[in-house]
Chain A
């Protein structure tokens, strides 16, 4: 099996709900290299989450083909190749932090005892030591999102999908998590697709920034980010970084 990253070819998705027709995606083609980091940015409602759901086999395209690591999405997910953190944390309210992080293991039928150290390490990574036994209802919004990120990483996925995982975090924590995410990614080299609204976050993390436009949802521009790795926080103040940010921002405005 050749790892071939994420591949979308001519994907269209049309929603029809209560008499209203929405072209969420129109003829979207995108392919990412194995081990690459891709950021997906675009106005609200342009179909970013829809792409993620299609990649995870939660939804079917109306046209086009789609593979993850060379497999159809439902096959890739069954084999445990993928990890995901959704836009809203979607934690099970009756499971504590540890048990929520372990949920993918339960679904995939993996042995929990093999993963105990990993779960502890992930909890430390996202800064939730001492909250292992807390229920989601007792956590703040940002803490819940961090649980979701830890959960996405627990299976050591080959392909990682992140839908605005840092949306509810403050700027400082967000930067910290960005640096952590880069470190994790460089260690694991998981093919990563990150949906974000933060231009700086996209430029800092990604090899490529895919800018989308809405109505119908489509790819407007793809911008290569040629910054060397590992990237350091100092980067946020450099001129070249700002130039790239401007380029993304202009693409978002439709230039």
Chain B
């Protein structure tokens, strides 16, 4: 092994050491935000003194996250397969899927805690955190399988199921694994967010919330780091698994045939019916769940109950004014945060093709910003950035950036060798290669990332509003919790879901137009 390759291998380690050294100095001298960033040594010492507290908390969080991860992903893979095989079911479930994805965990965790027993809210939120990512990547993976290979199975009289078993499942595996990779930290985050909602004595979220008021940044950071370490372990386990399976089995050429168009073209009345069904399904589920759980009507608003609250009751006008004012604050920030997060992720994904080293150095940081429970970061961010729009922007970028980056980097990774060989053979520069091959070939993944990002951006803004700035929908939600104004809690939750669905739908329309013009398959 040459010195150069040795160096490139230890490089990330050196970077990390430099970073730690700077952090240590900054912490010791209380350089950042008046001591809100303690030195690593202080955090570590605190972690050691607190260590006896940890096992129970870790165990509880692991249990909630693990059970949710298992259940959420099983459901996601099963339904994703159904959607890929029968596109009409995907259309029918579209409203439900986006609604589940866009559910702000913060908004529903108080409701879950009131209606379910101790562990169930955590499992539900962890499962919800996994469901959409894994479901989407299952469908993307299954529908983007090499059409030539599927033709081959069909040429021997193979049916849908054989094509699924022999070709689609296996070729979807890397994509599903990259979904699980994102889902794993999501499950941890989901469980912790549910723990904030209350209920239970154990869990890192409970621990964090209990330590929040005591001005002990070193303990907060300790808890945050432990939570991050758990999420990071889960992430890298699936990353390693993916790398092993992917090794040497990438497709060698680009499929030249148009991929099989998913759904048959239907008459207008059928399409209208499917659309109406997909809109009605989430409302029907919402209603059915409340009925099944027998939640008291005071707490649980059914769709008509919410309608009364917003439009019929005497207090309706006041509620409307509050809601609209909050929306006017939240919406612009969401759009800006989303654009910034996506742009950053795209740039970094492109960079990862040119300079893999940069990504290796940055990935841990990205992972921290993703999985470090935002509550632990917020005090620091507030002290550093004040309680203004900058905090919202940073928090939003940190929750949108990571999933977008992983999705796009994956898309670029899947660009086949042979496709890059042609421009290379003509001496194309790296930039030209990216422009001519990598970017267009990864376009379906860019769109998939954008769709993933839209609802998360809103969630990020709401978290920041709740915890830091005291503005917008997030703040309204927090206030309503304090006033036991259940109608408003439901109203904010439903409105934020509707906004997310709207953003999502806009992306889908642009995506359809662009990809069909380029003769590529829409990955839905």
User: 1/0 contact trace for A147-163 toward B, CB 8 Å?
Assistant: 00000000100000000
**A232 sits at the interface (CB 8 A):** no
Residue of A nearest to B519 (CB): A18
Q: Is the CB of B250 within 8 A of A93?
A: yes
Provide the bound-state CA to CA distance between A74 and B154, in Å: 9
Provide the bound-state CA to CA distance between A103 and B162, in Å: 11
Q: Given A93-B250, A94-B249, A135-B249, are A82 and B155 neighbors across the interface (CB < 8 Å)?
A: yes
Provide the bound-state CA to CA distance between A178 and B198, in Å: 76
User: 1/0 contact trace for B166-179 toward A, CB 8 Å?
Assistant: 11001100000000
Closest CB in chain A relative to B419 CB, distance in Å: 14
Residue of A nearest to B163 (CB): A107
Interface core residue of B152, B154, B171, B519 (most chain A CB under 10 Å): B152
When the two chains form the complex, which single residue of A79, A86, A106, A138 contacts B157, counting CB atoms closer than 8 Å? A79
Q: Is the CB of A107 within 8 A of B156?
A: yes
Q: Given A92-B167, A94-B170, are A82 and B248 neighbors across the interface (CB < 8 Å)?
A: no
- Interface range on chain B (Cβ under 8 Å from partner): 20 to 34
Provide the bound-state CA to CA distance between A155 and B248, in Å: 28
Q: Is the CB of A74 within 8 A of B249?
A: no
Q: Given A94-B249, A137-B248, A137-B249, are A103 and B155 neighbors across the interface (CB < 8 Å)?
A: no
User: 1/0 contact trace for A118-134 toward B, CB 8 Å?
Assistant: 00000000000000000
Q: Is the CB of A137 within 8 A of B170?
A: no
Closest CB in chain A relative to B144 CB, distance in Å: 13
Stretch at the interface among B251-259, B449-457, B486-494: B251-259
Closest CB in chain A relative to B181 CB, distance in Å: 19
Q: Is the CB of B250 within 8 A of A58?
A: no
Q: Is the CB of A80 within 8 A of B156?
A: yes
A/B pair count, beta carbons within 8 Å: 78
Residues of B within 8 A of A135 (CB): 248-249
**A193 sits at the interface (CB 8 A):** no
**A136 sits at the interface (CB 8 A):** yes
Residues of B within 8 A of A3 (CB): none
**B151 sits at the interface (CB 8 A):** yes
Q: Given A86-B152, A94-B249, A137-B248, are A108 and B157 neighbors across the interface (CB < 8 Å)?
A: yes
When the two chains form the complex, which single residue of B156, B166, B167 contacts A77, counting CB atoms closer than 8 Å? B156
In A67-99, which residues have CB < 8 Å from any B CB? 74, 77-80, 82, 84, 86, 88, 90-94
Q: Is the CB of B519 within 8 A of A84?
A: no
Q: Is the CB of B251 within 8 A of A57?
A: no
Residue of B nearest to A109 (CB): B162
Closest CB in chain B relative to A75 CB, distance in Å: 8
Q: Is the CB of A103 within 8 A of B154?
A: no
Residue of A nearest to B246 (CB): A94
Q: Is the CB of B248 within 8 A of A138?
A: yes
When the two chains form the complex, which single residue of B153, B170, B250, B519 contacts A107, counting CB atoms closer than 8 Å? B153
Provide the bound-state CA to CA distance between A212 and B153, in Å: 28
When the two chains form the complex, which single residue of B166, B252, B258 contacts A106, counting CB atoms closer than 8 Å? B166
Residues of B within 8 A of A56 (CB): 154-155
When the two chains form the complex, which single residue of A53, A86, A108 contacts B156, counting CB atoms closer than 8 Å? A108
**B149 sits at the interface (CB 8 A):** yes
Provide the bound-state CA to CA distance between A78 and B162, in Å: 12
User: 1/0 contact trace for B112-153 toward A, CB 8 Å?
Assistant: 000000000000000000000000000000000010110111
Q: Given A18-B519, A103-B166, A137-B248, are A90 and B156 neighbors across the interface (CB < 8 Å)?
A: no
Q: Is the CB of A80 within 8 A of B157?
A: yes
Q: Is the CB of A84 within 8 A of B258?
A: no
Closest CB in chain B relative to A34 CB, distance in Å: 20
- Known: A74-B157, A90-B149; 6 extra A-B contacts, CB below 8 A, are A77-B156, A92-B149, A93-B249, A93-B250, A108-B157, A135-B248
- 7 CB < 8 A contacts A-B: A56-B154, A74-B157, A86-B151, A90-B148, A94-B249, A106-B162, A107-B158
Q: Could you list which residues of chain A lie within 8 angstroms of chain B, going by C-beta atoms?
A: 17-18, 53, 56-58, 74, 77-80, 82, 84, 86, 88, 90-94, 103-104, 106-108, 135-138, 144, 155
